[in-house]
A and B are shown apart, each in its own frame.
Chain A
Amino acid sequence: MTIQLIRDISDTSSFWGAAWVFGCFPDLHIVCDAPIGCYNLLGVAVTDYTDALPQMANLTPTSIREEDVINGTAGALVRTIDDLRSLGSLEGRRLLVISTAESEMISADHTRLVAQIDPQARFFWSRSLEQDEWTGRDRALLFAWEEYGRPFADPAAAPKAPDLVNIIGPSLGCFNAPADLHEVRRLIEGIGGVVNLVYPYEGSVASTPRLADAAVNVVLYREFGAPLAEALGRPFLFAPFGVFGTTAFLRDLGRLIGADPARVEDFIAREKRTTLQPVWDLWRGPQSDWFATVDCAIVAGRSYVEGLTALLRDELGMKIAWTSGRPRRPDEPDNIEIRRRIHAKAPAFVFGSINEKIYLAEANARGTHYIPATFPGPVVRRTTGTPFMGYAGAANIIQELVNRFYEMVFNFLPVEQVKTPAGPGGPPQGATAGPPAPASAETMPWTKEATERLNAALEQVPYLARISASRSLRLAAEQAARARGVAEVTVDLVEAAIAHGG
Chain B
Amino acid sequence: MTEIIPLTAGEASAPQEPFKPGACKLHPQTMCPAFGALRVLSRIEGAQPAMVTDTGCLYGLTFVTHFYAARKSIVAPALGTAELSGGKVQEAANAAIVEAAREQHVSVIPVISLCVAETAGLAEELLPTEVDGKPVVLVRVPAYAIHSHPEAKDIALAAVLRRFVDRQSEHEPGALVLVGEVFPADPLLIDGVLRKMGARVLATLPGRHVDELRLAGRGAAVAALHPFYRETVNVLRERGVGVVTGAPIGAAGSAAWLRAVGAALALDEEVVERVAAEEEETARGFLAARPLKGATILVSGYEGNEMLYARLLIEGGAHVPYVSTSIGQSALTAADEAWLKAHGTEAVIYRKAIEDDQAAMRHWSFDLVIGTTTLAAYAKERGIPSVYYTNILSVRPLFLAGGMIASLSFVRELLNRRSLYERMVEFFTADGA
Could you jot down 5 A-B contacts, CB within 8 Å? Answer: A7-B99, A8-B74, A9-B76, A16-B56, A36-B30
Known pairs A12-B59, A100-B56, A130-B81 / 16 extra A-B pairs, C-beta < 8 Å:
A3-B95, A4-B77, A4-B78, A5-B96, A7-B99, A9-B76, A35-B115, A36-B143, A38-B60, A44-B373, A44-B374, A65-B145, A69-B144, A128-B54, A357-B71, A378-B66
Given A5-B96, A7-B73, A130-B80, is A40 in contact with B56 using a C-beta cutoff of 8 Å? no
Task: A434 to B49: give the CA distance in the assembly, Å.
Answer: 53
Q: Given A3-B77, A41-B60, are A36 and B147 also a contact pair (CB < 8 Å)?
A: yes
Within 8 A of A (CB), among B62-113: 62-64, 66-67, 71-78, 80-84, 86, 88, 91-92, 95-96, 99
| B contact residues vs A (CB 8 Å cutoff) | 23-28, 30-35, 54-64, 66-67, 71-78, 80-84, 86, 88, 91-92, 95-96, 99, 114-116, 119-120, 142-145, 147, 355, 373-374, 376-377
Question: Whole-angstrom distance between the alpha carbons of A49 and B374 in the complex?
Answer: 13
Question: Do A45 and B374 form a contact, CB below 8 Å, given A3-B88, A37-B57?
Answer: no
In whole angstroms, how far apart are the Cα atoms of A45 and B33 in the complex?
A: 13
Instruction: Establish whether residues B115 and A101, one from each chain, have CB atoms under 8 Å apart when the complex forms.
Output: yes
Minimum Cβ distance to chain B for residue A50 (Å) = 8
Neighbouring B residues of A15 by C-beta, 8 Å = 56
Min CB distance, A340 to chain B, in Å? 11
Chain B residue numbers with a CB within 8 Å of A84 are 24, 26
Interface residue count for A (Cβ, 8 Å)?
64
The distance from the CB of B90 to the nearest CB of chain A, in whole angstroms, is 10
- Cβ B57 vs Cβ A41 within 8 A: yes
Q: Once the chains bind, are A9 and B95 in contact (CB under 8 Å)?
A: no
* A359 nearest in chain B by CB position: B73
Q: Is A429 an interface residue (CB 8 A)?
A: no
Of A3, A11, A68, which is in contact with the most chain B CB atoms at under 10 Å from its CB?
Answer: A3
Q: Which residues of B contact A61 (CB under 8 A)?
A: 26-28
| A56 to B: closest C-beta gap in Å | 10
User: CB-nearest residue of chain A relative to B117?
Assistant: A105
A106 to B119, CA, bound (A): 8
Whole-angstrom CA separation of A336 from B25 in the bound complex: 42
Complex interface: chain B residues within 8 A of A41 (CB): 32, 35, 57, 59-61, 63-64
Asked if B76 and A40 make an inter-chain contact with CB atoms under 8 angstroms apart, the answer reads no
Contact across chains for B374 and A105 when beta carbons are under 8 A apart: no
Q: Is the CB of B54 within 8 A of A101?
A: yes
Q: Which residue from B62, B71, B143 sits with its C-beta under 8 Å from A35?
A: B143
Lowest 9 CB-CB distances: which A-B pairs, in order?
A41-B60, A37-B32, A37-B143, A13-B56, A12-B59, A54-B377, A83-B24, A101-B54, A35-B143
Partner of B373, one of A8, A42, A54: A54
List A319-363 residues whose CB lies under 8 Å from chain B: 336, 339, 354-355, 357-359, 361-362
Closest to A19 in B: B56
Answer yes or no: A247 CB below 8 A from chain B CBs. Answer: no
Quote the shortest CB–CB distance from B186 to chain A (angstroms).
26
Evaluate contact between B376 and A45: CB separation under 8 angstroms. no
A422 within 8 A of B: no
What is the bound-complex CA distance between A151 and B144, given in angstroms?
Answer: 39
Q: Tell me the bound Cα distance from A84 to B58 in angstroms.
A: 29
Contact across chains for A45 and B143 when beta carbons are under 8 A apart: no
Does A432 touch B at the CB level, under 8 Å?
A: no
> Chain B contacts of A354 at CB under 8 A?
63, 66, 71
- Report the Cα distance A210→B26, complex, angstroms: 33
Using Cβ atoms and an 8 Å threshold, which residues of chain B touch A63? 28
Closest A-chain residue to B56, C-beta based? A13
> Would you call A377 and B66 a contact (CB within 8 A)?
yes
Whether A45 and B60, one on each chain, are in contact in the complex, defined by CB atoms closer than 8 angstroms, is yes
Residues of chain A with a CB closer than 8 A to B88's CB: 1, 3
Interface 0/1 of A84-117, CB less than 8 Å to B: 1011000000000000111001100000000000
Contact with B along A8-51 (1 / 0, CB 8 A): 11011101100000000000000000011111111011101100
Chain B residues near A3: list those with CB within 8 A: 77-78, 83, 88, 91-92, 95
A47-90: which residues lie under 8 A (CB-CB) from chain B? 48-49, 54-55, 60-61, 63-66, 68-69, 80, 83-84, 86-87
Q: Is A240 an interface residue (CB 8 A)?
A: no
B144 touches A5 (CB 8 A): no
The answer to whether B119 touches A45 (Cβ under 8 A) is no
Chain B positions within 8 Å of A355 at CB level: 73
Decide: B76 and A55 in contact? CB cutoff 8 A.
Answer: no
**Are A13's CB and B59's CB within 8 A?**
yes
- Interface residue A393 (Cβ < 8 Å from any Cβ of B): no
* Pairwise interchain contact A45-B63, C-beta atoms closer than 8 A: yes
- A307 close to B (CB within 8 Å): no
A residues near B61, Cβ cutoff 8 Å: 41
Judge if A376 is at the interface, Cβ distance under 8 Å.
Answer: yes
B30 touches A5 (CB 8 A): no
Given contact pairs A44-B373, A69-B119, A102-B115, A36 touches B60 in the complex (Cβ within 8 A)? no
Q: Does chain B have a CB within 8 A of A129?
A: yes
Contacts A9-B55, A38-B57 given; does A1 touch B83 at CB 8 Å: yes
B59 near A55: Cβ-Cβ < 8 Å: no
B377 & A12 in contact (Cβ 8 Å cutoff): no
Whether A271 sits at the interface, judged by CB under 8 Å, is no
* A1-B86, A16-B56, A378-B66 known; A60-B116 Cβ under 8 A: no
Closest-CB distance, B48 to chain A (whole angstroms): 11
Could you say which of A37, A102, A128, A359 contacts B33, with CB atoms under 8 Å apart?
A37
B147 neighbours in A (Cβ, 8 Å): 36, 65
Question: What separation, in Å, do the CA atoms of A12 and B55 have in the docked complex?
Answer: 6
Q: Does A437 contact B (CB under 8 A)?
A: no
Considering only CB atoms, which chain A residue lies closest to B372 in the complex?
Answer: A44
Is A376 a contact of B63 with CB atoms below 8 Å?
yes
A361 to B374 alpha-carbon distance, docked (Å): 33
B374–A66 CB distance below 8 A: no
Q: Are B24 and A38 in contact (CB under 8 A)?
A: no
Measured between alpha carbons, how far is A283 from B390 in the docked complex, in Å?
48
Contact of A42 among B60, B92, B99, B116 (CB under 8 A): B60
Residues on B with C-beta less than 8 A from A129 are 54, 80-81, 84, 116
| Cα–Cα, bound, A10→B310 (Å) | 40
Query: Which residues does chain B contribute within 8 Å of A60, judged by CB atoms?
Result: 26-27
* A483 at the B interface (CB under 8 A): no
Q: Is A132 at the interface (CB under 8 A from chain B)?
A: yes
Known contacts A66-B144, A101-B57; is-contact A86 B23 (Cβ 8 Å):
yes
For the complex, what is the distance from the CA of A100 to the CA of B56, rounded to whole Å? Answer: 9
A213–B69 Cα gap in the complex (Å)? 48
CB neighbours (8 Å) of B80 from chain A are 129-130
Closest B residue to A41 by CB, please name it. Answer: B60
When the two chains form their complex, are residues A9 and B32 in contact, meaning their CB atoms are under 8 A apart?
no
When C-beta atoms are compared, the residue in chain A nearest to B380 turns out to be A54
Q: What distance in Å separates the Cβ of B112 from its nearest Cβ neighbour in chain A?
A: 12
Given contacts A48-B373, A102-B115, A102-B116, contact A38 B91 (CB under 8 A): no
A35 touches B142 (CB 8 A): yes
Across the interface, name the chain A residue whose C-beta is closest to B68.
A378
Contacts of B96 in A (CB 8 A): 5
Q: How far is the CA of A65 from the CA of B34 in the complex (A)?
A: 14
Closest to A355 in B: B73
B residues less than 8 Å from A361 (CB atoms): 71
Residue contact A362 to B73, C-beta cutoff 8 Å: yes
Q: Kindly state whether residue A6 has any CB partner on chain B within 8 Å.
A: yes
Q: When chains A and B are docked, how far (Å) is the Cα of A153 from the Cα of B319?
A: 58
Q: In chain A, what residue has the closest Cβ to B93?
A: A3
A105 to B61, CA, bound (A): 19
Interface residue from A7, A105, A378 paired with B119 (Cβ < 8 Å) = A105
Within 8 A of B (CB), among A115-154: 128-130, 132-133
List the B side residues contacting A38 at CB < 8 Å.
32, 56-57, 60, 115, 143
Q: Which residue of B lies closest to A84 (CB)?
A: B26
User: Which residues of chain A are within 8 angstroms of B71 by Cβ–Cβ distance?
Assistant: 354, 357-358, 361
Contact residues in B for A336 (Cβ distance below 8 Å): 99
When chains A and B are docked, how far (Å) is the Cα of A208 from the Cα of B238? 63
- Contact call B56/A42, Cβ cutoff below 8 A: yes
Which residue of chain A lies nearest to B145 when distances are taken between CB atoms in the complex?
A66
Max count, chain B CB within 10 A of own CB: residue among A37, A40, A66? A37
